[in-house]
Chains A and B, each alone.
Chain A
């Protein structure tokens, strides 16, 4: 089983749609969780950190479920500019391990 798993997609959605991605992780000791966005041939950029209580940034909402070991990302009112690959990133263990593990990424294409 991979340490961090995501549905690779692609998710093709119309503008204005709501879309949700899930990510599961295997290491219950994981401490930090992030969603990164990566555009084609560019570097990954932080979209948002994921906190235990859940957090929202504009149209984006992230949730963490430690009991079931998954994190989610919800995008509301999708824009064409949201088309990208979304990478789930989990810090892989006890404090200071410096081991960030990437999921395979989920491709999103927002259609006009």
Chain B
């Protein structure tokens, strides 16, 4: 069983909807990540939070809005998405910036 939990596992939304993806870990990790993965491509880094502060934003469009309410939780708020944003969204955590990344099972998003 993965120690990083993501909800929902599947999400279908229209281009005018607002939805959120949620991620939780209880390993005491202080770095949390959002990755986006399209079919047959590697994961692409979107955001990194370290010690609950946003430390990396890989020039992600503002229709994606991350939030880290506390050291265990990471959210990704979605608004006015485009069909090309359909992908697998992976949350990950690590103890520090150089150790192993632990991934959740991902949230598979379809934008209609």
Contacts and interface: CB of A to CB of B under 8 A. Distances in A.
Contact of B42 (A42, A45, A46, A105): A105
B66 interface: no
Interface stretch (A13-21, A61-69, A70-78, A95-103): A95-103
B103 A44 contact: yes
B90 A97 contact: no
A108 interface: no
B107 to A, nearest CB: 11
A26 interface: no
Contact of A96 (B33, B96, B102, B108): B96
Contact of B101 (A31, A41, A100): A100
Contact of B48 (A87, A99, A104): A99
Interface residues of B, number: 27
Contacts of A43: 2, 90, 103-106
A55 interface: no
A22 interface: no
A44 B43 contact: yes
B99 interface: yes
Contacts of B83: none
Interface string B1-36: 010000000000000000000000000000101000
Given A45-B103, A46-B100, A98-B48, 12 more contacts: A32-B98, A32-B99, A36-B101, A42-B105, A43-B103, A44-B43, A44-B90, A46-B102, A96-B96, A98-B97, A99-B45, A100-B101
Interface of A: 31-32, 34, 36, 41-46, 49, 87, 89, 91, 95-105
